[in-house]
């Protein structure tokens, strides 16, 4: 309990909110690194995933490759790339975390396209649409919830793992953990951890809202909306001569 109080005391110290090592600057660096990593991974993974989902080809290879990427220890890869490239800047962790972010985005892209009802695709072909038009105007809009879900998962992994990249002389919220550990400033370490958790929660909430709003009209949770009247039906009266209507 004392450590938590000390961590929040560190968070609200005015000295920690200004300068190069200030919270706004470190938070901005962390968001920038994460956004750049997610953008590069999306540029690589989304087109490949859409092509796999549309054609059905190389799906098994993509699953194996994604599993292999997930199994790579990120910290070990960061250190290896830093030594191999003889580069201690942002490049080694950027490459390593891009590799980490590709599998969930790739899976979200191809599984989203595969989830589209084949009858809808057949109807689009019957209307004379080209394969590219089917992909962009039919399959892509309907697959957006799962695609955004893949980006959501990738973003959370990237935000959490960029903290580890601070083992190299780069910025971000991970600096509070690495620098605090060096001088045993546990309030700084716990405060930095709280900031990473808060950033991850906010990011998850933003992607959850986006995922909700990209669902096409008439489709909720993968089900076609019931547009039939919900007004209760009335019993039809039967007229019998000599009797009142029932």
In a domain, 8, yes or no: yes
CB distance 194 to 11 below 8 Å: yes
Please report whether residue 101 resides in a domain. Answer: yes
Closest CA to 37 of 147, 203, 146, 151: 151
In a domain, 245, yes or no: no
Instruction: Report d(CA 57, CA 62) in Å as an integer.
Output: 9
Please count the structural domains in the chain.
1
Q: Could you tell me if 27 and 20 are in contact, meaning their C-beta atoms sit under 8 angstroms apart?
A: no
Query: Is residue 226 included in any domain, yes or no?
Result: no
Q: Which residue has the higher pLDDT, 31 or 124?
A: 31
pLDDT in tens, 90-142: 899 999 999 999 999 999 999 889 888 889 888 988 888 888 898 888 888 88
Cα separation values, 231 from 223, 224, 236, 238, Å: 21, 19, 15, 21
Helix, strand, coil proportions of the chain in percent (round to 5)?
70, 0, 25
At 213, list the tokens. Answer: 């709003």
CA distance 136 to 48: 14
Q: Is the pLDDT of residue 222 over 50?
A: no
Q: What does pTM read for this prediction?
A: 0.82
Q: Is residue 240 part of a domain?
A: no
Domain that holds residue 178: 2-14+26-217
Residue 122: which CATH number? 1.10.3720.10
Share of the chain above pLDDT 70, in %: 87
Quick check: is 225 in a domain? Answer: no
The answer as to whether 179 is a domain residue is yes
Confidence grade of residue 245 (pLDDT, cut at 50, 70, 90): very low
* Strand partners of residue 223: 220
pLDDT tens string 44-85: 999 999 999 888 888 888 888 777 887 888 888 888 888 888
How crowded is the C-beta side of 63, counted as CA atoms within 13 Å? 7
Say if 199 falls within a structural domain.
yes
């Amino acid at each position: 309990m004392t450590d938590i109080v000390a961590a929040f005391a560190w968070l609200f110290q005015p000295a920690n909110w200004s300068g190069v090592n200030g919270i706004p600057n470190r938070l901005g660096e962390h968001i920038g690194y994460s956004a750049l990593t997610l953008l590069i991974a999306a540029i690589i993974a989304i087109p490949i995933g859409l092509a796999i989902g549309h054609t059905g080809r190389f799906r098994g290879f993509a699953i194996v490759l994604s599993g292999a990427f997930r199994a790579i220890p990120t910290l070990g890869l960061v250190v290896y790339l830093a030594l191999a490239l003889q580069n201690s800047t942002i490049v080694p962790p950027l490459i390593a975390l891009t590799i980490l972010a590709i599998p969930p985005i790739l899976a979200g892209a191809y599984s989203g396209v595969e989830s589209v009802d084949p009858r809808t695709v057949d109807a689009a072909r019957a209307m004379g649409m080209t394969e590219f038009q089917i992909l962009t105007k039919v399959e892509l809009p309907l697959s957006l919830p799962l695609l955004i879900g893949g980006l959501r998962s990738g973003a959370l992994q990237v935000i959490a793992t960029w903290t580890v990249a601070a083992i190299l002389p780069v910025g971000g919220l991970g600096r509070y953990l690495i620098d605090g550990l060096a001088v045993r400033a546990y309030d700084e370490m716990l405060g930095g951890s709280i900031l990473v958790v808060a950033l991850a929660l906010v990011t998850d909430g933003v992607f959850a809202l986006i995922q909700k709003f990209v669902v096409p009209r008439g489709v909720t949770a993968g089900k076609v909306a019931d547009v039939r009247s919900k007004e209760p039906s009335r019993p039809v009266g039967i007229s019998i001569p000599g009797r009142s209507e029932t």
